[in-house]
Amino acid sequence: MATTLIYNIATLGGIDRKGRLRLQGKEMAQFETLDNAYLLIKDGRIADFGSMESLPQLAADVKRIDAEGGTVMPSFCDSHTHIVNAGSRENEFVDKINGLSYAEIAKRGGGILNSADKLHEMSEDELFEQSMKRVHEVMLKGTGCVEIKSGYGLNTEDELKMLRVIRRIKQTSPLKVVSNFLGAHAVGRAYAGQQSAYVDLVVNEMIPAVAAEGLADFVDVFCDEGFFTPEETGRILQAAARHGMRGKIHGQELAPSGGVEVALKHNALSVDHLESMTDEDIAMMIGTETSPTALPGTSFFLNIPFAPMRKMISAGLGPAIASDYNPGSTPSGDMKFVVSLACIKMRLLPEEAFNAATINGAYAMGLSADYGSIAIGKVANFYITHPIPSIAFIPYAYTTPVIREVYLNGERQN
């Protein structure tokens, strides 16, 4: 058995001794740390941890890594990304500067449809190679688990192409990857003015084809003003359930659109965005399994309101935060910056923001039994920082590159 000891850790953060799958309400301010610590890894999983004074005698062949007084933190768990895409959309960035809204750009044929046009022209190999650069980027920024969505194909062939690329990423990257079929991201150009017929295509052709190849862990729908209605969303999620795939929702980004209600009705694992979340939405979510997931990078980039995270936590909910890394509304997968935004713009304590970005992010992907905290038996996904004064320094110093080394499955990544 391969055994590795990380020693001379100034602070070991994100410890969980209770086997919790997510934290809610006041629990989110609990982020256990241990000073002057060690971490023991066996066969890619956490075998033990404790104070250096309690370090047991170890065999001579154990690999030893000096943390050099750095802090060790569980890897970020980013539950909402669009990493597989065909490239940047900086021309729309200029449109936004000139005053056009996200919805206005979409109505002019830009936005998601622009990305779909580019992706259609790109081969699967090209798409894979380009996407792997982004995968490597987020990995070195501390992300250890990631959900990747399709949704820039908008026809059966191109959606399957995207999902096959995501499968290749799963097979070749040390990141833990879950896949999400988002054929209902927008109405494809071939179905302009025929939204109902496009929904028929998603339900009757796309979902069965995705299921036949086992390409998706989840099925998502953009249920919002100007996109898909709650009734259409429900129909798609019912089809997903028939093929063994649980739902997720893009909802309440642009308007109070019924996304939360339909997510709860169909037991979606998460409902994401929530920039327009209402007090009634919050009340509906109390006591449910569905994870509210906020995307602060989207609010920052689009200059729209931030999701009401403070209200959610005060009501007893356990929100996650994710990057929404995509070429149109959030061209950044830097989860450290997402944590900073949660603190600065959403008024979360650093401890709350870290829990939202780790254990609760893992929960929003169905992964928190194995990822998202420092706990015996969990997969050894973590990063080591340069020496820092406290964990609060990480979101405080929002552009400082604090991460020194990244470990996934107990192995150092370069």
- Using one digit for the tens of pLDDT, what is the confidence trace for 88-131? 988 888 888 888 887 787 777 678 888 999 999 999 999 999 99
Q: Judge whether 404 is annotated as a binding position.
A: no
Q: Judge contact between 235 and 203, C-beta under 8 A.
A: yes
Q: What is the rounded CA–CA span in Å between residue 173 and residue 176? A: 8
Tell whether 329 is in a known binding site: yes
- Average pLDDT value for residue range 348-354: 98
Give the C-alpha separation, 242 to 202, whole Å.
13
Encode pLDDT of 133-173 as tens digits.
999 999 999 999 999 999 999 999 999 999 999 999 999 99
| pLDDT at 414 (0 to 100) | 86
Q: Do domains 3-74+372-413 and 76-365 have the same CATH topology?
A: no
Mean pLDDT to the nearest integer, 66-83: 98
Domain residue spans of the chain: 3-74+372-413, 76-365
Sign of CA dihedral 352, 31, 17, 362: positive
Residue 54, exposed/middle/buried by CB under 10 A (0-12, 13-18, 19+)? exposed
Q: Write the single-letter amino acid at 63.
A: K
Q: How many residues does the chain have?
A: 414
Q: Report whether 89 belongs to an annotated binding site.
A: yes
Give exposure, 2-36, as e/b (b: 16+ Cβ within 10 Å). Answer: ebbbbbebbbbbbbbeeebbbbbeebbeebebbee
Element (H, E) at 337: helix 335-344
Is 253 flagged in the annotation as binding?
Answer: yes
Cβ-contact 74, 382 below 8 angstroms: yes
Token pair 């609010």 is at which residue?
299
279 is in an annotated binding site: no
Fold of 3-74+372-413: Urease, subunit C; domain 1 (2.30.40)
Tokens matching residue 191: 């179905």
Which CATH number describes the domain made up of 76-365? 3.20.20.140
Tell me: pLDDT of 11 over 70.
yes
Q: Is 147 annotated as a binding residue?
A: no
Global confidence as pTM: 0.96
**CA-based R_g, the chain, Å:** 21
pLDDT digits (tens, 9 = 90+) for 170-207: 999 999 999 999 999 999 999 999 999 999 999 999 99
386 is an annotated ligand-binding site residue: no
